[in-house]
Amino acid sequence: MSLKYQYRATRGGKKDLIRDARPGDTVYVINEHSDRGMSYSVRVVTNERSWPSGVLMVECPATGATWSITQLLASEREVYGQQPAGLPNRAARVRHADYNQDAELARQEVSDRLVDSKAVDLAQHYKRLARR
């Protein structure tokens, strides 16, 4: 089953996320920053399970940090199964005051693509491992 658009930190949302998540799936978290506005961050569902609950783990492609999928939902309050449109990727944010706006937007786009491609590679890796 594919991931729904949004999962909230409720008992029903938690059950749905545990049921729907598969190794290699990508989940997104929207972050709000007081100084920079909104952005999103990416997590990839791994084939590892947490102990003792047995739920799947998620990994951040930018930092390599891992959490259980339920820990992520509890701490972030909402998790998304589809990439948020029109928001920059938090892990790829590049801000330099002396660059002009066009150069900054181009760097941001390149950074977004790099992190997104790393997330896709990580997702494919865990999908291959899940098939074994």
Q: Give the C-alpha distances (Å, rounded to integers) separating 26 from 5, 68, 119.
A: 12, 14, 7
CA 24 to chain centre: 11
pLDDT of amino acid 46:
95
- This prediction has a pTM of 0.69
pLDDT in tens, 94-116: 544 444 666 777 788 888 888 88
Structure-block tokens of residue 25 = 């799936």
Per-residue pLDDT band at 93 (split at 50, 70, 90): low
Please give the average per-residue pLDDT across 17-35, as a whole number: 91
